[in-house]
Amino acid sequence: MNPLAILNEVFGYPRFRGNQGDIVDHVAAGGDALVLMPTGGGKSLCYQIPALMRPGCGVVVSPLIALMADQVAALSEAGVRAAVLNSTLDAAAALGVERAFAGGELDVLYVAPERLVTPRFQALLERTQIALFAIDEAHCVSQWGHDFRPEYIELAVLHERFPAVPRIALTATADELTRREIIERLSLAKARVFIESFDRPNIRYAIVEKDNAREQLLRFLRQEHPGDCGIVYCLSRKKVEETAAWLSSHGIPALPYHAGLDAGIRAQHQRRFVDGEGIVMTATIAFGMGIDKPDVRFVAHLDLPKSIEAYYQETGRAGRDGAAANAWMAYGLADVVQQRRMIDESDADEEFKRISRNKLDALVGLAETAECRRVRLLAYFGEWAEPCGNCDNCLHPPTVVDATEAARKALSAVYRTGQRFGAGHLIDILRGQSTERVRQLGHDELKTFGIGVDMSDRQWRALFRHLVASGHLTAEAEAFGALRLTASARAVLKGDLPVALREAAARASGGAKRGRATGSPAAPPGGTPAATMLDALRAWRRDTAQAHGVPAYVIFHDATLMEIASRAPEDLDALAGISGVGAKKLERYGAELLALVQTTAASYR
């Protein structure tokens, strides 16, 4: 079969994404490849389809043991003969898989790296026809990276022992250093390198000003994501627990996840998140590595990550299925102060601290910008882009106002109080609030007392945050939150340097409205026939997944259910035309689904 036919019939997708088609052609013809693609880009098909096209079995090396079983389940659902060989199998089961493999009964075999390099498995490889070697998460070969696996270094033997078998190495880690290491250590000098854009067009980015963050989060979840599954990231374990409890008490099915929880509880919560539907995982960054769930509809940040890389990796866990997804973050001055403090107080050397501060500054710049978020993000990764039309700034362009005068007042308040106070107290002075502290310190006698009554508390907070973000003020580590002037503040005070501030968005919640998202399907608004249909389809999927003992997304992705709900197909042909419905699934579920669509449609007609 040709690649497109396999894509259509086995996987049920109408067309290749990005470079997929070229990669498949290249590997199927026997060429080596290095594939750099963002998370959710569709790396798996790049080796699965050539494995089906070439004689023999494709051998896939992956370090993520927990994910292998789900991948095999998904392939089996599509009618592909797949199996896994790792430490989760007992001896008898492993022997069965080895026999099937050597007997030519498998199309794809997933193997853990430590198993692959054993003499026993190497001997097995000698006796078996191999279609290709796929080395997933290839950055694990990098000794400088955070995911280093010593066994990956040994994978170079594959090339020496099986020079005629094509190899395809895949990773979502794009930086130049890692790339060079992969090529060198895996002897891929002759491989063709495929670099996919790191853009994730279906993810809508929104960064809102913090103003009672929990309430903002709740509003965002209720308005945009009723019943959806997603992740809420917090910095501390305590906050994770509190936020999960608080969301639960407001009727949102939230579970906590952090490294301090018992391993059993962690595994149970993760399983419920992956299998179930509509779970909101409230987590520290301990949650995420190896989470392959394609239908995560949102990633929310209640605290600021450390860098754009971290933000992009975390938000990248949303919308891997290509359907519309939201990346939402609430951020305020305290976040910047807290992150700066963590850097200052860490034991790292000065060089590392300097790099960390620069990385944080880049992220704060992203949060402060009035321009397209995506343009900023991609520029950070060295890509050029047009304004996207799918971020908060593109959808609701903020007005930028001249805030030079206000900035001078703020800086002067800092100066006159001896650079020893945080934003809260300074705002009291500027707004002429005669609080006890203000009176005790005699700050109601200052020239700056009450010169800023024309601006609200919130506007002043936004301005202070902006002054810190643009480096005119620094927040001191020792005196928690005390603001000091920097060299550039002088220029602002003298009126030589203008300050422009984005006007606080008029929308109270700040959450992005659902709408056009670059052609990918979005959930229908609640209460409509399509929404009723989607609910019915999801319930059916839950039952079916339970009966088969696989995660719900293995049956069908959200994107596929949404398309079925909106098109309400009347016959098998129409159903087959929907993205994600392959031949095997059509045969297995087609009749059931058509009946369900009909009865549901009849119920509201």
Contacts with Zn ion by CB under 5 A lie at 372, 374, 388, 391, 394
C-beta separation of 36 from 172 below 8 A: yes
| Chain residue whose CB lies nearest ligand ADP | 42
Q: Does 294 bind ligand ADP (CB under 6 A)?
A: yes
Interface residue with ligand ADP among 24, 32, 44, 586 (CB under 6 A) is: 44
Choice between 374 and 557, CB closer to Zn ion: 374
Nearest distance from residue 551's CB to ligand ADP, in Å? Answer: 12
- Token pair for 272: 């419920």
Binding positions for ligand ADP, 4-33, rule CB under 6 A: 13, 16-17, 20
Nearest distance from residue 20's CB to ligand ADP, in Å? Answer: 6
Interface residue with ligand ADP among 42, 50, 305, 422 (CB under 6 A) is: 42
C-beta separation of 414 from 483 below 8 A: yes
Q: Does 320 bind ligand ADP (CB under 6 A)?
A: yes
Rounded distance, CA 378 to CA 277, Å? Answer: 32
- Say which entry of Zn ion, ligand ADP, none residue 422 contacts (CB below 5 to 8 A, set by partner kind): none
Rounded distance, CA 293 to CA 318, Å? Answer: 9
Choice between 37 and 366, CB closer to Zn ion: 366
Q: Could you tell me which stretch among 120-128, 271-279, 319-327, 497-505 binds ligand ADP (CB under 6 A)?
A: 319-327
Choice between 328 and 589, CB closer to Zn ion: 328
C-beta separation of 293 from 270 below 8 A: no
- Say which entry of Zn ion, ligand ADP, none residue 19 contacts (CB below 5 to 8 A, set by partner kind): none
Choice between 297 and 557, CB closer to ligand ADP: 557
Choice between 291 and 378, CB closer to Zn ion: 378
Binding mask 170-189 for ligand ADP (x = CB under 6 A): --------------------
Alpha helices for 88-198 (secondary structure H): 91-102, 113-116, 119-127, 150-153, 157-161, 176-185
Rounded distance, CA 285 to CA 486, Å? Answer: 33
- Say which entry of ligand ADP, Zn ion, none residue 322 contacts (CB below 5 to 8 A, set by partner kind): ligand ADP
- Say which entry of Zn ion, ligand ADP, none residue 204 contacts (CB below 5 to 8 A, set by partner kind): none
Nearest distance from residue 394's CB to Zn ion, in Å? Answer: 3
- Token pair for 30: 């026997």
Choice between 374 and 443, CB closer to Zn ion: 374
Q: Could you tell me which stretch among 38-46, 152-160, 271-279, 429-437 binds ligand ADP (CB under 6 A)?
A: 38-46
Catalogue the E-assigned strands of 293-449. Answer: 298-301, 325-331, 400-402
- Say which entry of Zn ion, ligand ADP, none residue 58 contacts (CB below 5 to 8 A, set by partner kind): none
Helices 457-469 & 423-430 angle (0-180, nearest 10): 130
Q: Could you tell me which stretch among 243-251, 314-322, 409-417, 449-457 binds ligand ADP (CB under 6 A)?
A: 314-322
- Say which entry of ligand ADP, Zn ion, none residue 17 contacts (CB below 5 to 8 A, set by partner kind): ligand ADP
- Say which entry of ligand ADP, Zn ion, none residue 520 contacts (CB below 5 to 8 A, set by partner kind): none
For 111, half-sphere exposure in the C-beta direction (CA atoms, 13 angstrom radius) is 29
State the DSSP H helix or E strand holding residue 45, giving kind and residue range, or none if neither. Answer: helix 43-53
Nearest distance from residue 580's CB to ligand ADP, in Å? Answer: 7
Q: Could you tell me which stretch among 37-45, 353-361, 454-462, 512-520 binds ligand ADP (CB under 6 A)?
A: 37-45
Interface residue with ligand ADP among 321, 335, 428, 563 (CB under 6 A) is: 321
Residues 6+ apart with CB under 8 A from 456: none
- Token pair for 531: 């929404």
Nearest distance from residue 276's CB to ligand ADP, in Å? Answer: 18
Side by side, the strands of the sheet bearing 167-171 are 82-85, 108-111, 57-61, 130-135, 167-171, 33-36, 192-195
Choice between 13 and 589, CB closer to ligand ADP: 13
Q: Does 43 bind ligand ADP (CB under 6 A)?
A: yes
Binding positions for ligand ADP, 557-586, rule CB under 6 A: 557, 579
- Interface with ligand ADP (CB under 6 A), residue total 18
Q: Does 293 bind ligand ADP (CB under 6 A)?
A: no
CA dihedral 10, 136, 551, 246 (to 10 degrees): -140
Interface residue with ligand ADP among 10, 24, 34, 37 (CB under 6 A) is: 37
Rounded distance, CA 88 to CA 111, Å? Answer: 11
Among the listed residues 113, 119, 106, 127, the one whose alpha carbon sits nearest the alpha carbon of residue 55 = 106
Q: Does 194 bind ligand ADP (CB under 6 A)?
A: no
State the DSSP H helix or E strand holding residue 108, giving kind and residue range, or none if neither. Answer: strand 108-111
Nearest distance from residue 263's CB to ligand ADP, in Å? Answer: 26
C-beta separation of 220 from 509 below 8 A: yes
Choice between 137 and 303, CB closer to ligand ADP: 137
Give me the numbers of helices (H) and strands (E) for the chain, helices first please: 28, 17
The CA-to-CA distance between both ends of the chain, in Å, stands at 43
- Say which entry of Zn ion, ligand ADP, none residue 374 contacts (CB below 5 to 8 A, set by partner kind): Zn ion
- Say which entry of ligand ADP, Zn ion, none residue 566 contacts (CB below 5 to 8 A, set by partner kind): none
Binding positions for ligand ADP, 426-485, rule CB under 6 A: none
Choice between 201 and 322, CB closer to ligand ADP: 322
What backbone torsions phi and psi does residue 400 show, to the nearest 5 degrees?
Answer: -105, 125
- Token pair for 416: 């006159």
- Say which entry of ligand ADP, Zn ion, none residue 544 contacts (CB below 5 to 8 A, set by partner kind): none
**What is the identity of the amino acid at 131?**
A
Angle (CA) 228 69 272, round 5°: 30
Interface residue with ligand ADP among 41, 63, 166, 332 (CB under 6 A) is: 41
Task: For residue 231, list its beta bridge partners.
Answer: 281, 299
Among the listed residues 430, 450, 427, 429, the one whose alpha carbon sits nearest the alpha carbon of residue 440 = 429
User: What secondary structure, in 3-state letters, does 248-300 show?
Assistant: HHCCCCEEEECCCCCHHHHHHHHHHHHHCCCCEEEECCCCCCCCCCCCCCEEE
> In this structure, are strands 500-502 and 400-402 parallel, antiparallel, or unpaired?
antiparallel
Q: What residue ranges bind ligand ADP (CB under 6 A)?
A: 13, 16-17, 20, 37, 39-45, 294, 320-322, 557, 579
